[in-house]
């Protein structure tokens, strides 16, 4: 990512997104659009804002999913508040919402309502289960989506209980489809194939789609994919292995990699062992194979073994945590941990956008804002004078945030 960007270098320069989402599934998706150059206007509830503003640690949790957005604080239960959002949408390209079923209708901000003010709007609704699901009104938390989708069933140790994945996988999967579908609709509109579009992204459907090869196991065997911890059902050696001091991950997943792996271990005799002759043979004897490998790995530290294996082009690496990862030489060289400076309060630590173009660019433009920080500036842009803004503030229609 270049530090200097121009409107022409940002793929979504000139695109405006009105963002009525909160927590992760919507905000991470709209942040992706902001990284690509879209102006994202984040509409937040007066006094409370996005619920992730209250999740500890604050504001670090919120900051990681809300850069490149301008916050406006609006009470959507009021007619004036609804009118403000309609005026924002009238000049926008995209509207994204993740409210409870029936909520946008009560705010007069449904797709049909907003098409009246902008007949070319790309409207995206993020929901737990979709508008025609028997679970339509069930609140969709990430852990519930992981459980109901099958993701939790394949996560955990062999013989153990199903586990939440640790990442908010259901939310993040949904965010990726949100970004993808909006980009597709913008392209179709630009091409003249559509005038406007309503997109529905149900979290459960999105999560189920990522079962992919795990579902393939069931389609081919009529059996559930098993929980195996870090072990693979058909590839060995694969997974977590103990060294003298720490664990590492090894994935010697081809016959040539197995040959090279044995050479690094100085155990070429294993190549003649009929239990390990083929990949299938090795996958049928995972316990004894692991025991043999770990006996060799116990002779040196994890760092030594990772260096030796990587020097032989064998997929192997350390098991980082969310603190140690930032010292990894790859992360440091690629400058993946970034700091966005903020005047008057602590700077925001964020993760760089991972995609790099040859001609186009992404950017870290606007640091994560405080609740309502751009309220006055945005209202002024849309024609509200100081007296009108003060009236709205006194009536509680907008919050007390000051323009950045």
CATH number at residue 162: 3.40.50.10540
For residue 18, give its domain range: 7-210+332-394
Q: Which of 279, 294, 318 is the last residue of a domain?
A: 318
Indicate if the pLDDT at residue 354 is higher than 80. Answer: yes
Would you place residue 5 in the very low, low, confident or very high pLDDT band (cuts 50, 70, 90)? confident
Asked whether residue 215 is assigned to any structural domain, the reply reads no
313 is catalytic: no
Question: What is the number of other CB atoms lying within 10 angstroms of the CB of residue 306?
Answer: 19
Helix (H, G, I), strand (E, B) or coil at 195: coil
Residues 336 and 309 in one domain: no
Angle between helices 302-311 and 255-265 (to 10 degrees): 130
Convert the pLDDT of each residue in 274-293 to its tens digit: 999 999 999 999 999 999 99
Element of type H or E holding 126:
strand 122-127
**Which CATH number do you get for residue 302?**
3.30.1540.10
Residue among 19, 93, 171, 205 flagged as catalytic: 171
In the beta sheet, which residues pair with residue 250? 239, 316
Question: What is the number of other CB atoms lying within 10 angstroms of the CB of residue 394?
Answer: 9
Residues 355 and 294 in one domain: no
Residues 94 and 149 in one domain: yes
Mean pLDDT along residues 330-350: 96
Residues 304 and 342 in one domain: no
The pLDDT assigned to 400 comes to 79
Mean pLDDT along residues 165-186: 97
Indicate if the pLDDT at residue 131 is higher than 50. Answer: yes
Indicate if the pLDDT at residue 404 is higher than 50. Answer: no
Would you place residue 179 in the very low, low, confident or very high pLDDT band (cuts 50, 70, 90)? very high
Asked whether residue 401 is assigned to any structural domain, the reply reads no
Asked whether residue 58 is assigned to any structural domain, the reply reads yes
C-alpha span between 197 and 96 (Å, rounded): 12
Residues 51 and 141 in one domain: yes
Asked whether residue 81 is assigned to any structural domain, the reply reads yes
The pLDDT assigned to 120 comes to 98
Residues 6+ apart with CB under 8 A from 296: 265, 266, 267
Residues 345 and 302 in one domain: no
C-alpha span between 262 and 268 (Å, rounded): 5
Residues 108 and 182 in one domain: yes
Mean pLDDT along residues 99-121: 97
Asked whether residue 199 is assigned to any structural domain, the reply reads yes
Q: Which token pair is 367? A: 């640091």
Q: Which token pair is 322? A: 């969310």
Would you place residue 1 in the very low, low, confident or very high pLDDT band (cuts 50, 70, 90)? very low
Asked whether residue 287 is assigned to any structural domain, the reply reads yes
Residues 113 and 163 in one domain: yes
Helix (H, G, I), strand (E, B) or coil at 403: coil
The pLDDT assigned to 317 comes to 98
pTM: 0.94
Q: Which token pair is 349? A: 């630590």
Would you place residue 403 in the very low, low, confident or very high pLDDT band (cuts 50, 70, 90)? very low
Residues 272 and 368 in one domain: no
The pLDDT assigned to 4 comes to 64
Residues 311 and 343 in one domain: no
Q: Which of 271, 289, 318 is the last residue of a domain?
A: 318
Residues 177 and 308 in one domain: no
Total structural domains within the chain: 2
Residues 178 and 67 in one domain: yes
Average pLDDT, the chain: 96
HSE (CB half, 13 Å, CA atoms) of 63? Answer: 21
Convert the pLDDT of each residue in 23-34 to its tens digit: 999 999 999 999
Q: Which of 318, 349, 380 is the last residue of a domain?
A: 318
Convert the pLDDT of each residue in 181-233 to its tens digit: 999 999 999 999 999 999 999 999 999 999 999 999 999 999 999 999 999 99
Angle between helices 169-191 and 142-149 (to 10 degrees): 90
Asked whether residue 387 is assigned to any structural domain, the reply reads yes
Asked whether residue 326 is assigned to any structural domain, the reply reads no
Strands 197-202 and 69-73: what pairing? Answer: unpaired
Measure the N-to-C terminal CA separation of the chain; round to a whole number of Å: 25
């Amino acid at each position: 990512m270049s530090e200097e960007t121009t409107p022409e270098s940002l793929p979504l320069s000139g695109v405006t997104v009105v963002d009525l989402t909160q927590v992760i599934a919507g905000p991470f998706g709209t942040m992706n659009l902001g990284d690509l150059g879209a102006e994202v206007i984040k509409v937040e509830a007066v006094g409370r804002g996005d619920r992730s503003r209250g999740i500890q640690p604050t504001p670090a949790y919120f900051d990681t999913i809300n850069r490149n957005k301008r916050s406006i604080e609006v009470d959507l239960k009021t007619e004036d508040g609804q009118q403000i959002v309609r005026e924002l949408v009238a000049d926008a390209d995209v509207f994204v919402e993740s409210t409870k079923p029936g909520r946008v209708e009560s705010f007069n901000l449904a797709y049909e309502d907003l098409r009246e003010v902008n007949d070319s709007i790309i409207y995206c609704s993020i929901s737990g289960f979709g508008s025609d699901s028997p679970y339509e009104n069930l609140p969709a938390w990430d852990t519930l989506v992981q459980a109901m989708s099958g993701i939790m069933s394949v996560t955990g140790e062999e013989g153990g209980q199903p586990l939440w994945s640790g990442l908010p996988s259901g939310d993040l999967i949904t965010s990726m489809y949100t970004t993808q579908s909006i980009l597709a609709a913008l392209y179709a509109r630009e091409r003249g194939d559509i005038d406007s579009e309503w997109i529905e992204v149900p979290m459960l459907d999105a999560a189920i789609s990522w079962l992919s090869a795990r579902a393939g196991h069931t389609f081919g065997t009529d059996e559930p994919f098993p929980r195996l911890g870090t072990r693979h059902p058909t590839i060995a050696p694969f997974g977590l292995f103990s060294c003298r001091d720490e664990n590492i991950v090894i994935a010697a997943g081809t016959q040539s990699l197995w040959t090279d792996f044995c050479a690094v271990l100085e155990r070429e005799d294993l190549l003649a062992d009929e239990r390990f002759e083929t990949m299938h043979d090795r996958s049928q004897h995972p316990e004894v194979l692991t025991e043999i490998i770990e006996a060799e790995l116990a002779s040196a530290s994890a760092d030594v073994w990772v260096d030796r294996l990587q020097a032989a082009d064998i997929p192997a690496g350390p098991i980082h945590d969310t603190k140690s990862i930032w010292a990894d030489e790859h992360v440091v060289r690629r400058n993946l941990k970034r700091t966005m400076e903020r005047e008057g309060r602590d700077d925001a630590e964020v993760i760089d956008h991972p995609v790099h173009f040859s001609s186009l660019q992404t950017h870290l433009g606007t640091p994560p804002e405080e609740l309502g920080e751009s309220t006055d500036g945005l209202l002024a842009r849309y024609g509200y004078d100081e007296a009108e803004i003060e009236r709205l503030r006194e009536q509680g229609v907008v919050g007390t945030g000051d323009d950045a």
